[in-house]
Amino acid sequence: MNKFQIGLSLLAYILIASCQENASKQMEASPKTKTQQVEKQKVAAPISSPEKMFGYIHKEGVAYSKELMNSTENSTTYVQPPTKALNFGIYTTDLAYAAAYQDLESTIELYKTVKRMSAELNIAEMMTSEMVERMQANMENPDSLAVVAGKAYYQAVEFLDANSQNGKLALMSVGGWIESLYITMSAVEENEAGALTVQKIADQKKIVQNLYAYLKNHENELGVEEAIKQLKPIAAIYENILLNENSEQLEISDEQYEQLKTAIVNYRNRIVSIN
C-alpha cells in the first residue's frame, strides 16, 4: 500500500471529510431511495471537500508546507467544546493535506490527534466495527474505499442528527473549510488570473453560502452564533465575486483576493489561538 492510500484510509476513518468524486459518481449511477437523497442533501449543506482542493493544488505543482498546518502540540490546549469542535475540523483538514502530499509522518501524527479529539467530543462511537472491516477490506482499492468512506460519512451525519449534535457538526465544518482555504491561499500567494487553483477558490462561493445557511439554521447551538459572526465578513466578500460575462465563471479581482485572504487568515488564527 502506498503512502497516499494510507493517508486516504486514515482520512476516511475519522469520517469528517465528504466523499470524493468517484464515490459521488458511483452513488449517482445507481437508483436513489428517498433516504439516500435526504442524506446527500444533508452532506451538501455544511461540508466542503478539502481533499479535493488539495488534490487540485498538488496537481498544479503548488509546494507543500508543513508549517501551514496547526501544530498537534496545540491540540491539548483546546478545552471549551466549541473551540475543540472548530479545531477538530482544522486537524481533519490538515490530515487531508498531509495525506494528499504523502507526508506519512504527519499523517500518522494527525490521525492520532484526530482520534483522541473525537473521543473527547463524544463522537468516536460513530465508527462501527462494520465500517472498520469494510475499510480494511478496500484499502488496496482507492475507488472502492471512496465509496465506503462516502457511506460512512452519511452514517456519521445520521449519528450527529440523531444525537442533537448539529451545532457540533456545523463548527467542525467551519473549521475544516477555513483551514482548507487558509492553506490554499497561503500556498498561492497571489491572484493568478486563469489559474485552476484560483478558480477553485472563487468557486467556494456556493459552499460558503450553504455553510452560512446551515449555521443560521442551528444558531442556538453552543458556539454557532459566534461562528456566524466571524464568518459573515468572509461571506460578504464572496457575495461580491460575480460571474464573468464572457467565460460564465466566477471571477475574483486582485482586491477581492487580498481581502478574502486577510479575512481567512484572521479567522483561522483566531480559531487556533483560542484557549
Residue 29 has pLDDT above 60, yes or no: no
- Residue with the bigger pLDDT between 254 and 125: it is 254
d(CA 210, CA 177): 12
Q: Is the pLDDT of residue 115 over 60?
A: yes
Give residue-wise pLDDT tens across range 241-250: 999 888 889 9
Q: Tell me the pLDDT tens digit for each residue of 31-48.
A: 444 334 434 444 444 555
pLDDT value at residue 65:
93
pLDDT of residue 118: 82
From residue 159, how far is each of 65, 154, 187 by CA, in Å?
35, 9, 35
pLDDT at 199 over 50: yes
pLDDT at 194: 64
Q: What is the pLDDT of residue 72?
A: 96
Residue 30 to residues 20, 26, 36, 145, 258: CA-CA distances in angstroms? 16, 7, 11, 17, 43
Given this model, what pLDDT does residue 140 score?
54
Q: How far apart are CA 115 and CA 205, in angstroms?
A: 31
CA–CA separation, 140 vs 23, rounded Å?
16
Backbone angles phi, psi at 242, to 5 degrees: -115, 170
By C-alpha distance, which of 189, 187, 180 is closest to 211?
Answer: 180
Between residues 135 and 23, which one has the greater pLDDT? 135
What is the reported pLDDT for 166? 85
Rounded Cα distance between 260 and 185, Å, is 9
Pairwise CA distance, residues 99 & 52, whole Å: 12
* Listed range (3-12, 89-98, 146-155, 173-182) with the worst mean pLDDT: 3-12
User: CA 243 to CA 260: how far, in whole Å?
Assistant: 17
Q: pLDDT at position 17, please?
A: 40
* Alpha-helical regions (H) of 193-253: 196-202, 205-217, 224-239
Q: What is the pLDDT of residue 44?
A: 44
Q: Quick check: 125 pLDDT over 60?
A: yes
pTM of the model: 0.77
φ and ψ of 153, to 5 deg = -65, -45
Are 92 and 16 in contact, with CB atoms under 8 Å apart? Answer: yes
End-to-end CA distance of the chain: 39
The pLDDT value recorded for residue 106 is: 86
As a whole number of angstroms, the distance between CA 210 and CA 275 comes to: 28
